[in-house]
């Protein structure tokens, strides 16, 4: 009998997040104030975030306990299943064992609800009743809408214009949960009006939408706070629930991964599954290969520069030391919307820099090819973002087929692709381009990275 699903007893749902900060192999370069370029002070963040999250952003506590109300909300969909991809292994004819954590079962359809719930909660207990944010493909906006609705809060989502028009069902999904969805750039902010005046036909970008959402919070005199779905330390912290559960599930069947894989946009889902295992590598000397997978059209970790840069186009966010393609980089229109970000989480950047983790980049056609192989074997339609992790897992399994190695491969299925069928359609009709980032863009990016 094949044990396809390794389920965790709900009573064993981890009740603390793992904080990688004290375990990092080198000191974390401090975030810098966007105006003064001096190290950021916690009070610089109070206009945007509630105290609970500001504290987590810089916390050196090894574990941070998960509040009861967050645990309650997690129980709506956690623990998520760990699955053994027997059918995919068979289809590949590999001696490797392939496991994946299925985050697509969350009501938001992705891992992003793990942090959305926590962020809504810490705002709520700080007396905040309204959050503002940006969304690209709509995944993060959906997650925050659900979380705000669960805690009885208002939510305004600046949605990148191209998605706003091309993904009407993501928009209605957010509206179902009571969110107000605004096409970005918009007339609601100074920055949006400026962009519209200069570039009336722009498709918008995540960087522009972030600037708009931050402006709304910054101008609200403390009434509205801002929420970010990836990149920041507290976001990665909340996602470690994924890896903690996976570890318990793997241990329950006597398994340990040799390879841990995740797709990487801002870095949160990859960090989520990987960090609890990174601790074993750093502290116990376990030999584990950690692979972040990104698109060749937005190759932040594989070809970006390790430097201080802004998180948004309008230069309003603090500067983080990260891998970056430059804050005004606008990636070409690949279908993995969640992977189209110019930068990456500073913790992840540091671990790549130190050689603890590594990154690879893939073309979108090879990712869709992997997605179909996976879908037909496992009966789950993966998100185009998650298809990057699947591509890499398949490649690792095929290497084992050549060498005869019986590696244990674990990857994160960050979300399902039910709202991405137009992307699949485009692939079916052979319309996708294998977009590669031009070297001249990377050279130019250096110009838009501030000299610090």
Ligand X SMILES: *Cc1c(COP(=O)(O)O)cnc(C)c1O
C-beta closer to ligand X: residue 195 or 380: 380
Cβ closest to ligand X, residue 6 vs residue 345? 345
Sites for ligand X among residues 27-56 (CB under 6 A): none
Q: Taken in order 420, 5, 393, 369, is the CA torsion positive or negative?
A: negative
| Residue (189 or 302) nearer to ligand X, CB | 302
Site stretch for ligand X (CB under 6 A), options 21-29, 207-215, 265-273, 280-288: 265-273
Restricting to residues 114-143, name those near ligand X by CB under 6 A.
139-140
Q: What is the smallest separation between the CB atom of 148 and ligand X, expressed in angstroms?
A: 17
Q: How far is the CB of 420 from ligand X (least distance, A)?
A: 9
Which residue of 20, 208, 246, 263 would you call a contact of ligand X, by CB under 6 A?
263
Which of 268, 302, 313, 364 touches ligand X (CB under 6 A)?
A: 268
Q: Which stretch binds ligand X (CB under 6 A): 89-97, 122-130, 192-200, 260-268?
A: 260-268
Binding window for ligand X (CB under 6 A); candidates: 2-10, 261-269, 296-304, 372-380: 261-269
Name which position in 264, 291, 293, 360 contacts ligand X (CB under 6 A): 264
Q: Contact region for ligand X (CB under 6 A) — 174-182, 203-211, 242-250, 264-272? A: 264-272
- For residues 1 and 221, is the Cβ–Cβ distance under 8 A? no
Q: Which is nearer to ligand X, 224 or 264 (CB)?
A: 264
Q: Closest by alpha carbon to 231, among 272, 197, 176?
A: 272
183 binds ligand X (CB under 6 A): no
Binding test (CB under 6 A) with ligand X, winner from 19, 110, 156, 183: 110
- Radius of gyration of the chain, Cα coordinates, nearest whole angstrom: 20
Written in H, E and C, the secondary structure of the chain is CCCCEECCCHHHCCCEEECCHHHCCCCCCCCECCCCCCECCHHHHCCCCCHHHHHHHHCCCCEEECCHHHHHHHCCCCCCCEEECHHHHHHHCCCCEEEEEEHHHCCCCECCHHHHHHHHHHHHCCCCCEEEEEECCCHHHHHHHHHHHHCCCEEEEEEEHHHHHHCHHHHHHHHHCCCEEEEECCCCCHHHHHHHHHCCCCCCCHHHHHHHHHHHHHCCCCCEEECCCCCCHHHHHHHHHHHHHHHHHHHHCCCCCCEEEEECCCCHHHHHHHHHHHHHHHHHCCCCEEEEEEECCCCHHHHCEEEEECCCCCCCCCEEEEEECCCCCCCCCCCCHHHCCCCCCHHHHHHHHCCCCEEEEECHHHHHHHHHHHHHHHCCCECHHHHHHHHHHHHHHHHHHHHCCCCEEEEEECEECCCCHHHHHHHHCCCCCCCCCCHHHHHHHHHCCCCC
Minimum distance from CB of 154 to ligand X (Å)?
Answer: 23
Q: Is 14 in the site for ligand X (CB under 6 A)?
A: no
Q: Is position 266 an interface residue for ligand X (rule: CB under 6 A)?
A: yes
* Residue 338 binds ligand X, judged by CB under 6 A: yes
**Interface with ligand X, residue 206, by CB under 6 A:** no
| 46: CB partners within 8 A, 6+ apart | 54
Window 391 to 430, contacts with ligand X (CB under 6 A): 414-415
299 near ligand X (CB under 6 A): no
Nearest to ligand X of 96, 380 (CB atom): 380
- When the beta carbons of 113 and 148 are compared against ligand X, the nearer one is 113
Binding to ligand X by CB under 6 A, coded x per residue (else -) over 65-104, reads ----------------------------------------
Query: Which of residues 241 and 264 has its CB atom nearest to ligand X in the complex?
Result: 264
**CB-nearer residue toward ligand X: 97 or 270:** 270
Q: How far is the CB of 87 from ligand X (least distance, A)?
A: 22
The per-residue b/e assignment along 430-443, b for 16 or more CB within 10 angstroms, e otherwise, is eebeebebeeeebe
Which residue is at the shortest CB distance from ligand X?
415
The interface region with ligand X, picked from 72-80, 172-180, 315-323, 379-387 by CB under 6 A, is 379-387
Strands 289-295 and 358-362: parallel
Nearer to ligand X, 302 or 414 (CB): 414
We find the least distance from the C-beta atom of residue 90 to ligand X, in angstroms, to be: 26
Q: By CB under 6 A, is residue 385 in contact with ligand X?
A: yes
Determine contact, residues 412/242, Cβ cutoff 8 Å.
yes
Contact between 228 and ligand X per CB under 6 A: no
Closest CA to 340 of 350, 352, 356, 325: 325
343 makes contact with ligand X (CB under 6 A):
no
Q: Which residues here bind ligand X, judged by CB under 6 A?
A: 110, 112, 139-140, 230, 263-270, 338-339, 383, 385-386, 414-415
């Amino acid at each position: 009998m094949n044990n396809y699903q390794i389920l965790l007893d709900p009573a064993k749902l981890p009740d603390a997040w793992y904080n990688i900060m004290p375990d990092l192999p080198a000191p974390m370069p401090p975030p810098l104030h966007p105006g003064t370029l001096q190290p950021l002070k916690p009070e610089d963040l109070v206009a945007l975030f509630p105290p609970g999250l500001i504290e987590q952003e810089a916390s050196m506590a090894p574990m941070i306990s998960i509040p009861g109300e967050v645990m309650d909300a997690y129980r709506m969909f956690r623990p998520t299943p760990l699955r053994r991809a027997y059918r995919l292994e068979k289809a590949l004819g590999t001696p490797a064992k392939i496991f994946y954590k299925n985050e697509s079962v969350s009501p938001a359809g992705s891992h992003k609800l793990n942090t959305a719930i926590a962020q809504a909660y810490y705002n709520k207990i700080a007396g905040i009743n309204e959050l503002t944010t940006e969304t690209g493909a709509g995944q993060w906006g959906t997650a925050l809408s659900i979380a705000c609705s669960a805690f009885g809060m208002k939510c305004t989502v600046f949605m990148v214009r191209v998605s706003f028009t091309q993904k009407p069902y993501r928009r209605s999904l957010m509206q179902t949960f009571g969110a107000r969805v605004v096409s970005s750039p918009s007339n609601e902010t100074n920055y949006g009006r400026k962009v519209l005046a200069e570039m009336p036909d722009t498709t918008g970008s995540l960087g522009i939408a972030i600037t708009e959402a931050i402006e709304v919070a910054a101008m609200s005199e403390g009434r509205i706070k801002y929420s970010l779905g990836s990149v920041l330390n507290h976001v990665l912290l909340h996602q470690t629930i994924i890896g903690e559960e996976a570890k318990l599930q793997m241990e329950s069947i006597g398994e340990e991964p040799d390879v841990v894989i995740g797709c990487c946009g801002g870095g949160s889902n990859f960090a989520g599954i990987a960090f609890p295992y990174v601790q074993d590598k750093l502290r116990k000397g376990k030999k584990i290969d950690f692979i972040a997978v990104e698109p060749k059209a937005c190759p932040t970790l594989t070809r970006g520069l390790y430097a201080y840069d802004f998180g948004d186009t309008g230069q309003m966010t603090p500067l983080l030391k990260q891998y970056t393609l430059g804050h005004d980089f606008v990636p070409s229109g690949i279908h993995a919307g969640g992977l189209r970000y110019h930068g990456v989480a500073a913790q992840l950047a540091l671990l790549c820099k130190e050689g603890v983790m590594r990154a690879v980049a893939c073309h979108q056609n090879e990712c869709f090819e992997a997605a179909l192989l996976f879908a037909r074997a496992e009966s789950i339609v993966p998100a185009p973002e998650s298809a990057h992790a699947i591509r890499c897992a398949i490649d690792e399994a095929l290497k084992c087929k050549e060498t005869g190695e019986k590696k244990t491969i674990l990857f994160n299925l960050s979300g399902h692709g039910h709202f991405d069928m137009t992307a699949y359609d485009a692939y079916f009709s052979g319309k996708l381009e294998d977009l590669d980032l031009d070297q001249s863009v990377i050279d130019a990016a250096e110009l838009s990275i501030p000299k610090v």
